Structures are given as structure tokens and as C-alpha cells.
């Protein structure tokens, strides 16, 4: 069973969101998603200052099995990317909720968080898969 931290919010497309304060949110992919993908070999991240819309694909995770789009869970501006992943994409596998984070977004409308799932809702969504 995948680890699903209760303090995070989740998109049904397997991204997680953590509030960092001042309207900034860290985004990554869930442990469940990285298990499905397998060993990461490359992560293509958006650029800082890119504008992203909720539900829009904005990054790509490539594993030994497949390439998978990563979607922005909320609308906003990319304020930071995890540059460590360029040399260590396996961090997504080893620590998906810590060192394996992907990017940080400054939300344009924090009310969009209400559209995301809590841990139990996300667990139920993957149990249905």
C-alpha cells in the first residue's frame, strides 16, 4: 500500500500539493504514481516564471517503463524548480514527498485547492483504478 501523507492535497492525476505559505505550493508526484512508472531516468520540468493552468500538462517524468505527463494541480506561476532532479531523477522514486518534489507554484487562486482530494479521497481514487 502506498504512503499517502494526510497533510497534503492530491489531484486524481497523481500529483500532490503542499502549502509553503504566502500562496506558494510545492508539487510532486505521489508514491503510487512513481511505483506505477518505475525507475525515473529523466524529469522535464517547466521553466521558472512559466504560467500554468490547473489540469494543464506542464512537466514530463520519464522512467524505464514509460513517459508520463505531469499536470499542474493549481493555476499560477512557477517560482522554483527542483534542479537536483536534473542529475538525480531517482529522488522521485526514493523520496517522492521530500527530495523528489518537482516544482513550486505561486497560486493565482487558492480557492482551487478545494477542487483537490484529501488523503482519504485520493486513496479511494487509486483503490478504484
Domain regions of the chain by residue span: 9-110
Mean pLDDT confidence for 56-84: 97
**Residues 104, 26: contact at Cβ < 8 Å?**
yes
Note the pLDDT tens digit of each residue in 103-127: 999 999 999 999 999 999 999 999 8
Global confidence as pTM: 0.96
Span 60-68, average pLDDT: 94
For Cα atoms 55, 53, 128, give the angle at the middle one, nearest 5 degrees: 15
Predicted local confidence at residue 1, as pLDDT: 55
- Architecture per CATH, domain 9-110, reads as Beta Barrel (2.40)
Burial per residue of 7-21, b for 16 or more beta-carbon CB atoms within 10 angstroms, e otherwise: ebbbbbbbbbbbeee
Amino acid at each position: 500500500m502506498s504512503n499517502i501523507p494526510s497533510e497534503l492535497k492530491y489531484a486524481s492525476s497523481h500529483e500532490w500539493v503542499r502549502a509553503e505559505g504566502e500562496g506558494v505550493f510545492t508539487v510532486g508526484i505521489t508514491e503510487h504514481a512513481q511505483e506505477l512508472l518505475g525507475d525515473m531516468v529523466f524529469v522535464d520540468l517547466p521553466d521558472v516564471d512559466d504560467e500554468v493552468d490547473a489540469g494543464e500538462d506542464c512537466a514530463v517524468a520519464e522512467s524505464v517503463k514509460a513517459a508520463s505527463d505531469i499536470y499542474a494541480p493549481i493555476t499560477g506561476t512557477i517560482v522554483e524548480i527542483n534542479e537536483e532532479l536534473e542529475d538525480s531523477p531517482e529522488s522521485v522514486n526514493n523520496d517522492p514527498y521530500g527530495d523528489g518534489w518537482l516544482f513550486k507554484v505561486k497560486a493565482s487562486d487558492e480557492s482551487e485547492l478545494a477542487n483537490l482530494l484529501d488523503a482519504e479521497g485520493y486513496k479511494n481514487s487509486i483503490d478504484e483504478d
